[in-house]
Structure 1
């Protein structure tokens, strides 16, 4: 009779140390390529300013 009461306790002790890990997903960030051969040589002119002739 003692073994019947002791068996669930032993099973709980063994199961308490277990860890269930679900599936995981790893997502990397976007890869950005900066082209150094631009036609405007690093200058930026907003559209409204270009129409006014300030660039």
Structure 2
């Protein structure tokens, strides 16, 4: 029984380790907080060039 519990705890830990927090919104001490990891550095017009490629002159 202890072995089954240990295996299920390990499996649950591995399953939950793939989760990622992508959006936070709230208020702390009267300050509104809004953060997201889905932010894109370009505006969708196809003009984005990564810094390393721009330095090489590939863009």
**When the two structures are superposed, what TM-score results if normalisation uses the length of structure 2?**
0.32
> Which structure would you say has the larger RCO, counting Cα contacts within 8 Å and 6 or more residues apart?
2
Name the larger-Rg structure: 1
Q: Give the structure with the larger strand fraction.
A: 2
- TM-score relative to the length of structure 1: 0.33
